[in-house]
Amino acid sequence: MKILVIEDDKEAADYLKKALGEAGHNAHVAGDGDTGFAMADGGDYDVLIVDRMLPHRNGLTLIADLRAKENVTPVLILSALGEVDDRVTGLRAGGDDYLTKPYAFTELLARIEVLSRRSAAKEVETVYRVGDLELDRLSHSAKRAGKEIVLQPREFRLLEYLMRHSGQVVTRTMLLENVWDYHFDPQTNVIDVHVSRLRGKIEKGFEKPLLHTVRGSGYMLKAG
Amino acid sequence: MAWRIPAALKTTAFRLSALYLLLFAACAVMLVLYMTAMSARLLNDQTQEAITAEASDLGRAYSRGGLPLLVRMVASRSRQPGANLYLIADSQGRILSGNVESLEPGVFDVDGWTQRPFSYKRFGEGSPQVEGEREGTLTEVDRNSDGHKALALVLRLPNQMILLVGRDLGEPERFRSAIRQALVISLGTMAFGGLLIWFFVGRRALKRIDSVSAASKRIMGGDLTGRLPVSGAGDEFDRLSENLNVMLSRIGELNDGLKEVSDNIAHDLKTPLTRLRNRAEAALTGKPKAAEYRQALEATISESDQLIRTFNAILMISRLEAGYSAEQVEPVDLAEAVADVAELYDPVAEEAGVALTSRVQSGCSIKGNRELVAQALSNIVDNAIKYSAGSSEAPKVEISLAQEKGDCVIRVRDNGPGIAEEADRHRVTERFVRLEKSRSQPGSGLGLSLAKAVMKFHGGKLDVLSANPGLLVVMTFHGQRDSE
């Protein structure tokens, strides 16, 4: 995956470049807003990682300028500002996701992978399939190997999200944001308990595990 | 307090008194001048009328009895007290009779009214009147020679005789000077009174202001507990002082809050930072194996995550307390918010063996921030589950939402150990306060203070009560005010 990191803190940018390289991605770095805009506009990047506060051109302006030129490359905004308002303005400016500093690299990695592979086709599909697990978005029902699984509404949304991003790591924060629409950090790991309850429902009585825990990151739904 | 004149002259009280004094004086002068002019004219008219009447009287006497009668009448009239001026002259201007002694030349050149100084003899007004007066008894009282003017009417009689009847204008002059004197006296009194009033009123105001200034100087000097003096008179100075005192209290509160935060940051952030540092240092000493390094690093990361969490909570509380931007305020359905949080914690409670129930009355909607409400409530529910899990009887947590007297009230009740002391119950909503018994439980000690800040942000309140046994936390959202 070709990634552009627009970040003025050289140490942070170099760290990101190195870590993304180790994760198998090809990352470039731009040190200010204007260079970043020129590179993002010209290069064919899969994902942009944009810091909010940049010299020459502010991160939000940069995104708005790109969107004005009909560049739809997914953007992950990085910011030290984590208030609800800041996130809303960031997303309104055209960002696709928002991550507050300091962040865990695994969180960032999971988010950019989800961003880059986000496809319009997945959004309109009515039936998701992972292995022998099947989820019908229209009839709100789930089956495994033809056997009905009874799910609570929230469990359904949780499974739906996991299946939409099957084969990708989804973090606890991503689940909390996308399934519950909460952006705060609950004191207890409530998400783990919800996931393990769901796991019980979709795996109990079946041999092959589907919902895997990725150590230090989150969860991944995949067949085999 | 020094009573210095320059300072006194600079006061508003003085300026206002001076201005009023000037205005009043100008009005009084105008009024008196007008009155004097009017009365002088009136007197003049009266004088003229009297003279005309007299002259025509004498004229008739002349035509009836000729010169002898006229001379007799003039002689008798001019001897009366406060008499007019009378003169009879022949065509050559020689004086035949009358009390006028001398004349300026050319008086008879023009007929009609004339006004000029005359010299004449006049007899005392109060002198005893004797029937059949003789020349010898006449005393000359007023010899008018200092040049007051008289008003005279010159009349030509048949036979080329000239009759002059006049009246001394000294009386209106005296009247005028009396009025002038009255004016001066009243103006003087007014000025004196004004000065007196200004002295007392101005000095009193100045005294009050100086005492306020002195108090504020003391406060600026760093004594934030100081307050402005309130005299108890309930006047505008008192109102101002009272308002400023409320402001000072608020500033004091904020200052205390700030100090508390920095103290807390020093303590509750430094402690984990020290732990973090010690752990890293310990990992470097000796010759640890790779697995031990890994373990130390993982511990470091989780420790720093906890630090970030604490830091975020502190930031959020201070932002909420400083008055959060209203941009994120929208209608929030409390029933939905409560149900969501109950649902979020349901598996957690189940795992901890706590029976979590919720009773939600629909129709409670407030203006606020859904996330903040959810965060506050989840902190409270999280606590309730944590503490009731240690309960000896069947642990349970009840969440309820009800509409009471226009307020929306969320209650979270547990049957855990609770907090026995009321002072402690009050204290748990303060930042970083963790009661001794709860030290063993994980947490930053910021959950309830965050909930309290959220409630304050929504214009509501958070109460921590005893549920006997257990704890009852009440979130009260005051009636739907659209102005928020």
Question: B36-62 pLDDT, tens per residue?
Answer: 888 878 888 888 888 888 888 888 888
Q: Return the structure tokens found at B76.
A: 């008798």
Could you tell me if residue B135 is inside a domain?
Answer: no
Dihedral of the CA atoms A56, A59, A65, A71 (nearest 10)?
Answer: 130
Whether B344 sits inside 8 A of A190 (CB atoms) is yes
Least Cα distance to B374 among A186, A13, A73, A218 occurs for A186
Terminal-to-terminal C-alpha distance of chain B: 48
Given a cut of 90, is residue B391 above it in pLDDT?
A: no
Q: Are residues A6 and A109 in the same domain?
A: yes
Could you tell me if residue B312 is inside a domain?
Answer: yes
Q: Are residues A107 and A127 in the same domain?
A: no
Q: Are residues B384 and B313 in the same domain?
A: no
Q: Could you say which of B303, B321, B339 is where a domain stops?
A: B321
Side-chain half-sphere CA neighbours of B451 within 13 A = 27
Whether A190 sits inside 8 A of B308 (CB atoms) is no
Instruction: Choose between B325 and B73: higher pLDDT.
Output: B73
Q: Is B345 on the interface with A (CB under 8 A)?
A: yes
Q: Are residues A112 and A35 in the same domain?
A: yes
DSSP B187-245: HHHHHHHHHHHHHHHHHHHHHHHHHHHHHHHHHHTT-TT------SS-SHHHHHHHHHH
Output the pLDDT for position B325: 61
Q: Are residues B35 and B175 in the same domain?
A: yes
Output the pLDDT for position A220: 93
Q: Give the Cα separation of A71 and A63 in Å (integer).
A: 9
Q: Which residue's entry shows tokens 């029976």?
A: B355
Q: Which domain holds residue B315?
A: 236-321
Q: Is the dihedral of CA B317, B319, B322, B328 positive or negative?
A: negative
Could you tell me if residue B225 is inside a domain?
Answer: no
**Percent of chain B beyond pLDDT 90?**
8
Given a cut of 70, is residue B6 above it in pLDDT?
A: no
Output the pLDDT for position B412: 93
Q: Could you say which of B218, B245, B271 is where a domain stops?
A: B218
Q: Are residues A70 and A51 in the same domain?
A: yes
**Closest CB to A182 among B308, B371, B447:** B371
Q: Among A91, A157, A187, which would you mutate to test the B interface (most chain B Cβ atoms within 10 Å of its Cβ)?
A: A187
Q: Could you say which of A97, A116, A135 is where a domain stops?
A: A116
Q: Give the Cα separation of B266 and B290 in Å (integer).
A: 34
Q: Are residues B208 and B147 in the same domain?
A: yes
Q: Which residue's entry shows tokens 């009272």?
A: B242
Categorize the per-residue pLDDT at B148 as very low, low, confident or very high, splitting at 50, 70 and 90. Answer: low
Indicate the length of chain B as a whole number.
Answer: 484
Q: Are residues B201 and B79 in the same domain?
A: yes
Output the pLDDT for position B11: 66
Averaged over B414-430, what is the pLDDT? 75
Output the pLDDT for position B8: 60
Output the pLDDT for position B327: 61
Q: Return the structure tokens found at B69.
A: 């009668």
Least Cα distance to A195 among A182, A176, A177, A208 occurs for A176
Instruction: Choose between B346 and A43: higher pLDDT.
Output: B346
Crossing angle of helices B170-220 and B236-284, in 10° steps, is: 20
Q: Who's near B147: CB < 8 A, 6+ residues apart?
A: B117
B chain contacts of residue A85, beta-carbon cutoff 8 Å:
325, 327-328
Q: Are residues B91 and B108 in the same domain?
A: yes
**What CATH code is carried by the domain that includes residue B406?**
3.30.565.10
Q: Are residues B148 and B267 in the same domain?
A: no
Output the pLDDT for position B135: 38
Say how many C-beta atoms besides its own lie within 10 A of residue A72's C-beta: 10
**The B149-156 sheet, strands edge to edge:** B95-98, B85-89, B162-168, B149-156, B112-117
Q: Are residues A97 and A155 in the same domain?
A: no
Q: Could you say which of A87, A116, A145 is where a domain stops?
A: A116
Q: Are residues B212 and B71 in the same domain?
A: yes
Output the pLDDT for position A82: 62
Q: Are residues A43 and A139 in the same domain?
A: no
Q: Give the Cα separation of B454 and B481 in Å (integer).
A: 17
Averaged over A2-17, what is the pLDDT? 92
Q: Please count the structural domains in chain A.
A: 2
Q: Give the amino acid at B221.
A: G
Indicate the length of chain A as a whole number.
Answer: 224
Q: Give the Cα separation of A56 and A38 in Å (integer).
A: 12
**Percent of chain A beyond pLDDT 90?**
43
Output the pLDDT for position B136: 36
Q: Is-cis flag, bond preceding B417, omega within 30? A: no
CA distances from B195 to B16, B125, B201 (A): 11, 45, 10
Exposure b/e, A133-143, CB count within 10 A at least 16 = b: bbbeeeeeebe
Given a cut of 50, is residue B1 above it in pLDDT?
A: no
Chain A residues 58-97 with a CB less than 8 Å from chain B: 82-85, 88
DSSP B324-371: --GGG-EEEEHHHHHHHHHHHHHHHHHHHT-EEEEEE-S--EEEE-HH
Categorize the per-residue pLDDT at B147 as very low, low, confident or very high, splitting at 50, 70 and 90. Answer: low
Locate the chain B residue with the closest alpha carbon to A87: B328
Q: Are residues B314 and B457 in the same domain?
A: no
Minimum distance, in Å, between the CA of residue A85 and any CA atom of chain B: 7
Output the pLDDT for position B431: 60
B chain contacts of residue A196, beta-carbon cutoff 8 Å:
347
**What CATH code is carried by the domain that includes residue B46?**
3.30.450.20
Q: Are residues A125 and A211 in the same domain?
A: yes
Could you tell me if residue B398 is inside a domain?
Answer: yes
Averaged over B86-97, what is the pLDDT? 77
**Percent of chain A beyond pLDDT 70?**
96
Output the pLDDT for position B411: 93
Output the pLDDT for position B480: 57
Q: Are residues B60 and B86 in the same domain?
A: yes
**Percent of chain B beyond pLDDT 70?**
83
Output the pLDDT for position B126: 42
Output the pLDDT for position B21: 79
What rounded mean pLDDT belongs to chain B? 78
Q: State which of A81-90, B23-32, B99-108, B262-271 shows the largest mean pLDDT.
A: B23-32
Given a cut of 80, is residue B79 above it in pLDDT?
A: no
Output the pLDDT for position B252: 83
Q: Give the Cα separation of A13 and A31 in Å (integer).
A: 8
Output the pLDDT for position B128: 41
> pLDDT tens-digit profile of B442-473?
556 678 888 888 898 888 889 888 877 888 99
β partners of residue A127: A136
DSSP B77-117: HHTSTT--EEEEE-TT--EEEESEEE--TTGGGS-EEEEEE
Q: Are residues A107 and A177 in the same domain?
A: no
Q: Which domain holds residue A55?
A: 2-116
Q: Please count the structural domains in chain B.
A: 3
Whether A85 sits inside 8 A of B325 (CB atoms) is yes
Say how many C-beta atoms besides its own lie within 10 A of residue B27's C-beta: 10
Q: Is B347 on the interface with A (CB under 8 A)?
A: yes
Given a cut of 50, is residue B482 above it in pLDDT?
A: no
Chain B residues 408-447 with a CB less than 8 Å from chain A: 442-444, 447
Could you tell me if residue B187 is inside a domain?
Answer: yes
Output the pLDDT for position A156: 94
Q: Give the Cα separation of A124 and B467 in Å (integer).
A: 51
> pLDDT tens-digit profile of B358-388?
998 888 888 888 888 999 999 999 888 988 8
Instruction: Choose between B229 and A77: higher pLDDT.
Output: A77
Q: Are residues A67 and A25 in the same domain?
A: yes
Whether B374 sits inside 8 A of A104 (CB atoms) is no
Q: Give the amino acid at B224.
A: L
The 3-state DSSP class for residue B2 equals coil
Could you tell me if residue B132 is inside a domain?
Answer: no
Given a cut of 80, is residue B173 above it in pLDDT?
A: no
Q: Are residues A135 and A211 in the same domain?
A: yes
Q: Are residues B264 and B291 in the same domain?
A: yes
Q: Are residues A93 and A190 in the same domain?
A: no
Given a cut of 90, is residue B288 above it in pLDDT?
A: no
**What CATH code is carried by the domain that includes residue A135?**
1.10.10.10
Q: Are residues B341 and B450 in the same domain?
A: yes
**The A147-149 sheet, strands edge to edge:** A127-130, A133-136, A141-144, A147-149
Output the pLDDT for position B439: 44
Say how many C-beta atoms besides its own lie within 10 A of residue B113's C-beta: 13
> pLDDT tens-digit profile of A46-58?
999 999 888 888 8
**What CATH code is carried by the domain that includes residue A30?**
3.40.50.2300
pTM: 0.64
**Closest CB to A84 among B369, B382, B447:** B369
Least Cα distance to B377 among B403, B355, B408 occurs for B408
What rounded mean pLDDT belongs to chain A? 88
Q: Could you say which of A73, A100, A116 is where a domain stops?
A: A116
Q: Is A102 on the interface with B (CB under 8 A)?
A: yes
Given a cut of 50, is residue B483 above it in pLDDT?
A: no
Given a cut of 90, is residue B267 above it in pLDDT?
A: no
Could you tell me if residue B228 is inside a domain?
Answer: no
Q: Are residues B293 and B267 in the same domain?
A: yes
Q: Is A104 on the interface with B (CB under 8 A)?
A: yes
Given a cut of 70, is residue B424 above it in pLDDT?
A: yes
Q: Are residues A90 and A108 in the same domain?
A: yes
Q: Could you say which of B283, B305, B321 is where a domain stops?
A: B321
Could you tell me if residue B36 is inside a domain?
Answer: yes
Q: Are B36 and B182 in contact (CB under 8 A)?
A: no
Instruction: Choose between B239 and B157: higher pLDDT.
Output: B239
ipTM of the complex: 0.85
